[in-house]
Structure 1
Amino acid sequence: MHTLRQENLPKLDLPTDDELAPETVEFLASMPPLNVWRMIARTGVAREYRTLLSVMFGKDWFPGADREVIALRTFRQNGSDYEIPQHFVLAEAAGLPREASRAVLDDELDRLSPWHRRLCRMVDDMAADAKLGADQVRELVSHYGSQDMAARAIMIMAWFPMLTRFVDTTGVPVETVPDAYDGLSVPTGHG
């Protein structure tokens, strides 16, 4: 994992309210005060991004603990530390204990359930090969009981690497406010 040393500080500045359209400033005021939202505002797709995350973090779309294992393993694979404090909170809200989150990040997979170990290995394989093999896809279908759910797992495995590349390349700084993640149960709000 990299640290917040000088060479890792922001490569793009977070936009100030003066740099953003009034409707974007209003939108940001309705979101959790996370630096990633301010940087996403630079892209012009913050509202669309919120819509997608609202679905991906919805209670019935995909098992939250599995999503968080995939996310945390991706952060480990990509050496990305911005998202980790948020996802510790999101993981606990989804029912994944802090000890399991730490096990994913510390590569102590024997401390995880067999399925979460398997998900970690799939994330590792996707990071190495940019795709899963046919046997792994069949395993996802078998475990989740449908091709739709398997497709959602694959989407999540592809989504989080994109996020870490954006966050780390733009240099989104970790929030410095001590209670920035209090009450956070989804990245789009508090429930």
Structure 2
Amino acid sequence: MCSLRPENLPKLDLPADSELDADTAAFLTSLPRLNVWRMIARTGMVREYQAALSVMFGPDWIPGADREVIALRTFRQNASDYEVPQHFVLAEAAGLSRELSQAVLEDELDRLAPWFQRLCRMVDDMSTQAKLNAAQVRELVSHYGSQDKAAQAIMTMAWFHMLTRFVDSAGVPIDAGPDAYSGLSAPTRNG
């Protein structure tokens, strides 16, 4: 995995409040002060993105530790490092230790529980083949006990691939400051 992004990457500038409509600028104050939100504001769909992520980080989605294994593995596979520091914090909030998060990123899968190893391999396949195979989908259904939860896991895999492609192509700068992720338990709300 590469180190934190070099500042010389081609990038879009983060918009100043004066470049945003008043409602969007006000809405950004309700979100964690993460650079990704300001860049998403350029798309005109920051509210929709926040609504979708609120569901993905809510109690009715797949377990948070599974979500974070999927996220971290996606960041590794796509060599995307913007999200890693914040997802270390989110993974710990979901019960995944820093050591296990590092194992996902460093490809030391033998340190993980068998289910997390399987999730990593599924993310790897989605990274290279853009989809899961029928056996993997059946495994998700069997593990979660429903097609709805399997669909949530697949959406999570696809979502984080989309996010890395947006963040890296737009060149979202790493969030600075010693407490940039302090108290972060979800990327969709303060505190």
TM over 0.5: yes
Give the aligned partner of residue 75 of structure 1.
75
Structure 2: how far apart are the matches of 1:46 and 1:2? Answer: 28
Is the 2:7–2:173 Cα contact (8 Å) retained in structure 1?
no
Give the aligned partner of residue 176 of structure 1.
176
Structure 1: how far apart are the matches of 2:113 and 2:36? Answer: 31
Structure 2: how far apart are the matches of 1:35 and 1:80? Answer: 15
| Count of matched residue positions in the alignment of Structure 1 and Structure 2 | 190
> 1:53-68 counterparts in 2 under 5 A?
53-68=53-68
Question: So what's the TM-score if we normalise by structure 1?
Answer: 0.97
Is structure 2 residue 189 aligned with structure 1 residue 189? Answer: yes
CA RMSD in angstroms comes to: 1.0
Residue 190 of structure 1 and its aligned partner are, at CA, apart by 4.1
The unaligned stretches of length 5 or more in structure 2 are: none
Give the aligned partner of residue 8 of structure 2.
7
Cα shift readout 1:110-158 (whole Å, capped 9, x = no counterpart): 0000000000000001111111111110000000000000010000011
Q: Percent identity?
A: 73
**Residue type at the aligned position of 2:142:** S
Cα shift readout 1:51-101 (whole Å, capped 9, x = no counterpart): 000000002211000000000000000000000000000000011111110
Is structure 2 residue 23 aligned with structure 1 residue 23? Answer: yes
Cα shift readout 1:144-174 (whole Å, capped 9, x = no counterpart): 0000000100000111000000000000000
**Residue type at the aligned position of 1:5:** P
> 1:43-122 counterparts in 2 under 5 A?
43-122=43-122
Question: So what's the TM-score if we normalise by structure 2?
Answer: 0.97
The unaligned stretches of length 5 or more in structure 1 are: none
